[in-house]
């Protein structure tokens, strides 16, 4: 849609309110709402003012005035609000210079797409995220100076097999056995279908929905691949729909990578291909049907993976998922079959259209604009510098002798290590002014001070189990 069509839609659909949405720096959707009468065609060029000083990682209090500039192509009717409301995703600009704001994540994604085209490598980067999440029935947590705890519950959690439920009907999913039995063992088919069909109604094409491996309501709904900016917008709508449909059913959703100890975590396997003039540049006659271009892209992703994970796996909890033994992609290698490798080449179809690489490390706590942009920049750097990815890791990693296993690099052990890697290796992100030094510095500062140090300084409940009696 263009601006004129959005204004016509407001009148046709009797829209009363317009909700303007944008992304903060760490990755949480923000919004404010105006009466529909305030929206005209000029709004889509002139923008609307707001205070940016309270947005995490953004402006200082003395330079707080900013503009949201709605993108008419993103407009949709909100399915949850009581009053008829149109939602529009916005870009952020400086009100004085009218320059796109450097820390607006959506602006970074737009620059990444522009850089790909200007590089001469290709004109479109397609991304297909597979976002996993948990649907819980109850969540409680707190942290004070003298106490700290979390408590999760799910009716299908294996820990409730002996609970008095008047009656308890059994069918609790055992650890690592949720992939994927039919109902009544799978108790959430209908709620996932409701999520899926609502996404379809909103124009987001889905490919499949199913229970995931873990107990206690782990789920996955896949959305169809699309160009970088478009699929990042869709992923925000996706998370919004998933959370609010769950809320309708008096349930709660988390995209935390590792909420449950001893079972599989939630990732966001991300599929990537680069195209030019309608031709898939990753299709070829090499290993697993890949081209040299695809192999170089893999080389770039593996070479920059330690720093790349600061954006694709940006929370302290992310690294509790990236541990051996839970189908986690901890090995910085590539393979056509091995799911413990960071990069897999899906073999379901050998057609040109379907050929892509799957980067398995990311999780859904990431800011998709930043994560997808960083993935693309690493792949471009690999192509430009013809980085050799080495030999594939097609062997069973658990059967490798220790001396051979020691040669396989692994993902960073924690967020602190990933941030240190980003500090040392970020030149590939600065190309084309896609990421700026200010963005990199602010990201590292924010994550270290607000998350790494905040967790490091607090006692952990398990420390009492280990050390209280010493």
Q: Does the annotation mark 78 as catalytic?
A: no
Q: Does the annotation mark 269 as catalytic?
A: yes
Q: Does the annotation mark 304 as catalytic?
A: no
Catalytic, out of 110, 211, 321, 360 = 360
Rounded CA separation 223/204 (Å): 7
Q: Does the annotation mark 84 as catalytic?
A: no
Catalytic, out of 71, 104, 130, 186 = 130
- In 3D space, the residue among 363, 365, 265, 359 whose CA is nearest the CA of residue 320 turns out to be 265
Q: Does the annotation mark 132 as catalytic?
A: yes
Catalytic, out of 358, 363, 381, 451 = 358
Torsion 285-289-293-298 (CA) sign: negative
Contact status, residue 132 vs residue 212, Cβ threshold 8 Å: yes
Catalytic, out of 71, 132, 381, 451 = 132
Cis peptide before 104 (omega within 30 of 0): no
Catalytic, out of 13, 42, 51, 427 = 51
Q: Does the annotation mark 51 as catalytic?
A: yes
- How distant, in Å, are the alpha carbons of 264, 311, 368, 422, 425 from that of 372? 24, 9, 6, 16, 17
Q: Does the annotation mark 117 as catalytic?
A: no
Q: Does the annotation mark 5 as catalytic?
A: no
List of residues 6+ apart from 379 with CB closer than 8 A: 125, 272, 274, 297, 300, 301
Catalytic, out of 21, 211, 269, 356 = 269
Rounded CA separation 334/342 (Å): 6
List of residues 6+ apart from 364 with CB closer than 8 A: 129, 131, 132, 133, 235, 239, 255, 257, 266, 267, 268
Catalytic, out of 212, 222, 233, 381 = 212
Cα–Cα–Cα angle for 245, 52, 449, rounded to 5 degrees = 80
Q: Does the annotation mark 110 as catalytic?
A: no
Catalytic, out of 71, 220, 233, 363 = 220
Catalytic residues: 51, 130, 132, 212, 220, 269, 339, 358, 360
């Amino acid at each position: 849609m263009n601006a004129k069509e959005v204004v016509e839609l407001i009148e046709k659909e009797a829209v009363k309110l317009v909700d303007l949405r944008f992304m903060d720096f760490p990755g949480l959707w923000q919004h404010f709402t105006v009466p529909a009468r305030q929206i005209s065609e000029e709004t889509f060029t002139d923008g609307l003012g707001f205070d940016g000083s309270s947005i995490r990682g953004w402006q200082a209090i003395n330079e707080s005035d900013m503009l949201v500039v709605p993108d008419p192509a993103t407009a949709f009717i909100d399915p949850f609000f009581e009053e008829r409301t149109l939602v529009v995703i916005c870009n952020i600009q400086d009100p004085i210079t009218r320059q796109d704001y450097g820390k607006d994540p959506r602006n970074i994604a737009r620059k990444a797409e522009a850089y790909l085209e200007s590089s001469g490598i290709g004109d479109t980067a397609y991304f297909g995220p597979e976002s996993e999440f948990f649907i819980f029935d109850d969540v409680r947590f707190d942290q004070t100076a003298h106490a700290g705890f979390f408590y999760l519950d799910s009716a299908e959690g294996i820990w409730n097999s002996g609970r008095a439920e008047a009656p308890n009907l059994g069918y609790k999913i055992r650890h690592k056995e949720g992939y994927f039995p039919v109902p009544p063992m799978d108790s959430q088919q209908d709620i996932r279908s409701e999520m899926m069909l609502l996404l379809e109604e909103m124009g987001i094409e889905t490919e499949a929905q199913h229970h995931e491996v873990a107990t206690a309501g782990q789920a996955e709904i896949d959305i169809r691949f699309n160009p970088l900016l478009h699929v990042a917008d869709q992923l925000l709508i996706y998370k919004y729909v998933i959370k609010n449909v769950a809320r309708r059913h008096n349930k709660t959703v988390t995209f935390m990578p590792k909420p449950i100890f001893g079972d599989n975590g939630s990732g966001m396997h991300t599929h990537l291909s680069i195209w030019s003039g309608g031709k898939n540049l990753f299709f070829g006659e090499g290993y697993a049907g890949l081209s040299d271009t695809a192999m170089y892209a893999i080389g770039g992703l593996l070479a920059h993976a330690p720093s790349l994970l600061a954006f694709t796996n940006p929370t302290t909890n992310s690294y509790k998922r990236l541990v051996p033994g839970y189908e986690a992609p901890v090995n910085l290698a590539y393979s056509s079959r091995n799911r413990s490798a960071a990069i897999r080449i899906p073999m379901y179809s050998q057609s040109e259209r379907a050929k892509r690489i799957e980067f398995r490390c990311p999780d859904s706590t990431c800011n998709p604009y930043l994560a997808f942009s960083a993935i693309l920049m690493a792949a471009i750097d690999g192509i430009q510098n013809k980085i050799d990815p080495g030999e594939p890791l097609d062997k069973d990693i658990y059967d490798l002798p220790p001396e051979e296993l020691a040669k396989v690099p692994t993902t960073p052990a924690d967020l602190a290590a990933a941030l240190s890697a980003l500090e040392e290796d970020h030149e590939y992100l600065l190309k084309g002014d896609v990421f700026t030094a200010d963005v990199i510095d602010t990201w590292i500062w924010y994550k270290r001070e607000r998350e790494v140090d905040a967790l490091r300084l607090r006692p952990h409940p398990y420390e009492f189990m280990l050390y209280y009696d010493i």
